[in-house]
Amino acid sequence: MLSQPAKSRLATAIALGMVSATIAPFLAVSRAIALDAPPTLQPFRTAQLFGQPATVRIPAGTLIPVTYTEAEKIIVTPEETAPVSLTTAADVFSPAGTLVIPVGSEVEGELRPVAGGTQFFAETVIFPNGTERAIEASSDPITDTEIITEETDPDILRGAAIGAAAAAVLSEIFGDIDFIEVLAGAGLGVLATILFGGNEEEVEVVIIEPEDDLDLILDADFEL
């Protein structure tokens, strides 16, 4: 058994050893600096502590509010496909609260025929900084249709963006139409005069109210 003096010496040695182990790295750095040599320390790796950055995801089923800034309404025939560009009306966040789709982003896609009407299908989102991402989202089907005849007040067309197919038939009913915009080709164009006269007596159209009809639902997860 150790005597009391021996025990004291042992405790002192252990304490000194612990202190030496604690300050040794700092002494190594100081010694390296004094010798003008780089210290041999292990690099700090953030990824080891926090892991790799996680994918930011908005799940399928998320609502994306949108607006249509080019016209008050959109008119197409139930059989036609028309390109349309919408604008997000609010920021869209992930479930964790990360901003993923900023307000003012453009959503490009098409109005396509569906049973009894039309439906918007999104294809691309363009962020305000110009970055583009593919997106799968759609509106609810829009099935309310209206029959336009010669007796219809043509003011129903005023301020509308009209699909090329609908415009062709409407111009046959009303003759010159110089106050509407036509959805044609790759985008929205304004035509001073569309077509002249014809023999059509009526046309069935879908009249879309963008703020009521075109809010989008994600059909698949959207990831960044």
Domain ranges of the chain: 4-41, 57-223
Higher pLDDT: 10 or 124? It is 124
Distance CA 95, CA 218 (A): 14
Residues contacting residue 212 through CB under 8 Å, at least 6 positions apart: none
Integer-rounded Cα radius of gyration of the chain = 34
- The CATH class for the domain spanning 57-223 reads mainly beta
Is residue 171 classed as helix, strand or coil in its secondary structure? helix
Higher pLDDT: 183 or 80? It is 80
The sign of the CA dihedral 14, 17, 19, 21 is negative
In the block, residue with structure tokens 């999104």: 122
pTM for the predicted model, two decimal places: 0.67
What is the distance, to the nearest Å, from the Cα of residue 17 to the centroid of all Cα atoms in its chain? 61
Whether residue 88 contacts residue 64, with contact meaning beta carbons closer than 8 Å, is answered with yes
The string of pLDDT tens digits covering residues 98-137 is: 999 999 999 999 999 998 899 999 999 999 999 999 999 9
- Among the ranges given (72-76, 143-147, 175-179, 208-212), the one the predictor scored with the smallest mean pLDDT: 175-179
pLDDT at 204 over 80: yes
Higher pLDDT: 151 or 93? It is 93
The string of pLDDT tens digits covering residues 56-74 is: 999 999 999 999 988 888 9
Distance CA 218, CA 65 (A): 11
Higher pLDDT: 152 or 146? It is 146
